[in-house]
Amino acid sequence: MLKSEKIGLVKYEFVVYINVLYDALTYKVNGILLTKDDLENTLSKNNDINWVRVEGIDVVDTEEIWEDSVVETKMRISGLFDTEPLDWKYAQIIVNDYANTKQSYAIAKMPRSPIIPVYFDVKE
């Protein structure tokens, strides 16, 4: 009889940069989705992308980064999320402002190792 072992979750770090023009709004992470689909092949064949929602997102830090040359601010949100150790290819993050008037998202390629953070760049 074979003994089955329970595989634990893998912890990934994520960093989100959000470009905010003029007034610095505060954003919150609404969700992170992962897919094993290759987006280039899936989109070219008009197939649906199978996104899986991540449970347990832990936001660690939120800060403003000011740009001197332009009237522009970047928000930086960093945190952690747990997921099953599968061959995830892409991640999508959804962020909302605290008033829930604006929702934005960004897609990033998943790193091969959980030691490397997942970087998202949300454009307004």
Residues 16, 78: contact at Cβ < 8 Å?
yes
Instruction: Give me the phi and psi of 118, to 5 degrees please.
Output: -90, 120
pLDDT in tens, 8-55: 889 999 999 988 765 556 788 999 999 998 877 665 555 688 899 998
Kind plus residue range of the DSSP H or E element containing 43: helix 39-44
Per-domain boundaries in the chain: 86-123
The per-residue pLDDT for 65 is 76
Determine how many CB atoms are found less than 10 A away from the CB of residue 21: 11
**Can you tell me the distance from the alpha carbon of 15 to that of 13, in angstroms, rounded to the nearest whole number?**
7
pTM score, two decimals? Answer: 0.81
For all residues of the chain together, what is the average pLDDT?
82
Q: What is the mean pLDDT of residues 82-109?
A: 89
